[in-house]
């Protein structure tokens, strides 16, 4: 309280602050020491001996957990020595990751002697990384290569071209900005493309006048003034033109050759065949009904000779035979037929 005109008290009478209790500090896990080796199961140096350890203190408040086995076994005939872990020497530093400016380098080492028994474990890293500084980088901007020629237009009427980076940016150089591929609309001339003709279809009628068809189809439509597609995509032709129920003309097999017309010198012999069935609404006969051939011994007659065959002369053919270029006598098979072949 203020007295004799003194100033009044100003401020709190009690102040508080946060304090950290021991129970909130992180506590790491701790192992007990290993027990002695238990060799009760060993007989004559055979079997396995064991030892164990317990967790003395569990980790709390985010402390590190215990890492490692709680039991170990070993052969009875090999006493386990307590050997400390030994680390090897550091290897050479690797080359700097950068050829200029600041980069990184690293080096490693290995475990020479592993820990055994109650020996101490290795303590320390097996790899370290350090900064390395090279000479100052020369700044160079990224550089583009030249564009390729425009390619021909595709089916959608678009043309393409590409380019590549020939110089990467270094130091404080500017990076390449832009596209590595360019596209534009173009007017490529595309002609119509059609497939090959299909095979002819089977006739739609077994007799009389029928029809058979074949077709083709468009594989690519014309674009930008290309050649137009043909109008003929289907073809039709007649087939089986013989009347239904009709009968075709039929001829017999050839008879045996007849006797030679001369007993000496050159002669001829004939064979014939005849019509078995006349055509009735079908195809008529278009066959020879008689044939002649030469026979006998050929006698030199001073360049005069004759021959026989068939051609379009009166429906029968004549053949010239000449040994010295002279014109021989022509004998018409039609005459032979009248004189020699009997009526059929």
pLDDT in tens, 46-65: 778 888 889 888 888 888 88
Number of structural domains the chain divides into: 2
In a domain, 178, yes or no: no
Out of 94, 112, 133, a domain closes at 133
Q: Average pLDDT for residues 168-177, to the nearest whole number? A: 84
In a domain, 190, yes or no: no
pLDDT value at 42 more than 90: no
CATH number assigned to the domain comprising residue 118: 2.20.100.10
Give the Cα separation of 317 and 308 in Å (integer). 7
In a domain, 165, yes or no: no
What lies within 8 Å, CB to CB, of 4 at 6+ separation is none
Out of 133, 162, 192, a domain closes at 133
Q: What is the pLDDT of residue 331?
A: 37
Per the prediction, the chain carries an average pLDDT of: 75
Out of 104, 133, 162, a domain closes at 133
Domain limits at 286? 250-339
In a domain, 202, yes or no: no
In a domain, 271, yes or no: yes
In a domain, 153, yes or no: no
Q: Average pLDDT for residues 305-316, to the nearest whole number? A: 39
Which of 154-163, 263-272, 292-301 shows the lowest mean pLDDT across its residues? 292-301
Do residues 119 and 139 make contact, with C-beta atoms less than 8 angstroms apart? no
Confidence grade of residue 205 (pLDDT, cut at 50, 70, 90): confident
Angle CA 65–67–72, to nearest 5: 140
Do residues 333 and 318 make contact, with C-beta atoms less than 8 angstroms apart? yes
Give the Cα separation of 50 and 70 in Å (integer). 11
In a domain, 41, yes or no: no
In a domain, 237, yes or no: no
């Amino acid at each position: 309280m203020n007295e004799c005109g003194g100033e009044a008290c100003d401020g709190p009478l009690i102040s508080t602050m946060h304090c950290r209790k021991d129970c909130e500090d992180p506590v790491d896990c701790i192992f007990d020491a290993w027990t002695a080796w238990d060799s009760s199961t060993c007989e004559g140096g055979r079997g396995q001996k064991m030892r164990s350890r317990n967790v003395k203190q569990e980790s709390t408040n985010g402390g590190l957990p215990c890492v490692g086995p709680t039991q170990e076994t070993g052969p009875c005939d090999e006493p386990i020595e307590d050997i400390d872990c030994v680390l090897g020497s550091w290897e050479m530093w690797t080359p700097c990751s950068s050829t200029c400016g600041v980069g990184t380098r690293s080096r490693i080492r290995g475990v020479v002697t592993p820990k055994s028994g109650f020996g101490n474990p290795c303590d320390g890293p097996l790899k370290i990384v350090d900064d390395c500084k090279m000479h100052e980088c020369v700044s160079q901007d990224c550089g583009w290569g030249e564009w390729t020629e425009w390619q021909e237009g595709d089916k959608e009427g678009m043309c393409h071209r590409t380019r590549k980076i020939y110089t990467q940016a270094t130091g404080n150089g500017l990076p390449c900005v832009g596209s590595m591929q360019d596209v534009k609309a173009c007017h490529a001339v595309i002609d119509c493309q059609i497939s090959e003709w299909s095979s002819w279809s089977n006739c739609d009628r077994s007799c009389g006048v029928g029809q058979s068809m074949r077709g083709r189809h468009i594989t690519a439509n014309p674009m930008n003034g290309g050649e137009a597609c043909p109008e003929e995509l289907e073809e039709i032709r007649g087939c089986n033109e013989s009347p239904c129920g009709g009968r075709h003309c039929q001829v017999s097999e050839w008879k045996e050759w007849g006797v030679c017309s001369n007993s000496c010198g050159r002669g001829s012999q004939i064979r014939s065949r005849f019509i078995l069935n006349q055509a009735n609404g079908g195809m008529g006969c278009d066959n020879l009904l008689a044939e002649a051939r030469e026979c006998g011994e050929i006698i030199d007659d001073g360049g005069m000779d004759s021959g026989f065959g068939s051609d379009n002369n009166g429906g029968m053919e004549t053949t010239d035979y000449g040994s010295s270029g002279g014109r021989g006598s022509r004998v018409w098979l039609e005459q032979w037929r009248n004189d020699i072949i009997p009526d059929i």
